Structure 1
């Protein structure tokens, strides 16, 4: 019974925080917005580099982002994606992978969102 009360209290506290002025609401911005997508790179451990696919400013929050090597979905060395709210009620997502820099031209970020007519493919040159 104590555990149930604690979970209930935690949920009530979370609801109060979500209702604070300035906190992004799930109803804001109220209309669908497409993601702005870019791929960045930085030196990784050893002789590797990290490619990160960033999808920004989209609404609603449901989005599918994945990496491919040529035409095959790439899950090796893929970091877990992170979805976060922006202050304007839109969302931000990123997904990184570690690769051999000589293979960079083979990697593509694929983004699916209800506002996009087709899957968006982006790569870092």
Structure 2
């Protein structure tokens, strides 16, 4: 248990060191404000990014290992996630569904008829109609 705790602390320190490497060129003034990054700034920033990522991953892994050991010892209780039951879909009969959809179907039919009349009046043909003529 002590080894895991020490590992978590060292991983957190590594993450902080990585963050410092990322910020140092700007905080110490070695990178002029508003200028393009020089090679030293680029190297420090991306090295710090890598060290911080590894440190954060290590700290998370050690924290998970500590939690698992505490749960195994019975010092921490693991709660199961309770999923809330999904509400059941209301049961509708096909007659009710047909009654609900009838106005929509009628409106679509009227719209298609109106569009078809406009095309006939304008003399334009559809792709289907031109294929039928062949």
Scaled to the shorter chain, the TM-score interval is: under 0.3
Structure showing the higher helix proportion among its residues: 2
Structure showing the higher strand proportion among its residues: 1
What's the TM-score, normalizing by structure 1? 0.23
What's the TM-score, normalizing by structure 2? 0.21
